[in-house]
Amino acid sequence: MTDSESTRHIEIKDDDRTAAVAEVTTARGPEGTVRASMYAKNEHVRPGDRAALVDEVMDLPEVKASDRMEAAVPYGDAESVERLRERTDDAVLRAAGGTTLLDANLPPDGGHQTAEPPAGEPPAGDQPPGDADGRPGND
């Protein structure tokens, strides 16, 4: 590591145990490339812990200030890969042994995708009670 890079260690806890870990290296200054290695401490983690780890990494100010991401996750970690794809643009995936490598652009807004209601429909919180599609239930 050179003086122009900084490294952060991120952990997601399951009670008092560490469930998932990330090492994040960013170049100092904006418009650089961030490199992240993410993995679960064991194969039996709660659903959502891996996605939460991705969100913690993506929400770091130095990650938000970067233009590109190179990430490594264990091969078969679909939860992390899917969340990375949701939070990045133009993601390219490739396998390298027991690892999945992702190269992607980072969106300027931090990568939070929000569900936009179709034109003419109220946001989800403003819909009357009924089925998920907004129609009254047939109870």
Domain 5-126, architecture per CATH: 3-Layer(aba) Sandwich (3.40)
d(Cα 38, Cα 77) in Å, to the nearest integer? Answer: 10
pLDDT for residue 22: 98
| Extents of the domains making up the chain | 5-126
pLDDT digits (tens, 9 = 90+) for 69-82: 999 999 999 999 99
Comparing 10-24, 28-42, 46-60, the range with the smallest average pLDDT is 28-42
CA within 13 Å, CB half, 64: 9
Quote the pTM value: 0.74
Residues 83, 122: Cα–Cα separation, whole Å = 26
Q: What is the pLDDT of residues 8-22, one digit of tens each?
A: 999 999 888 999 999
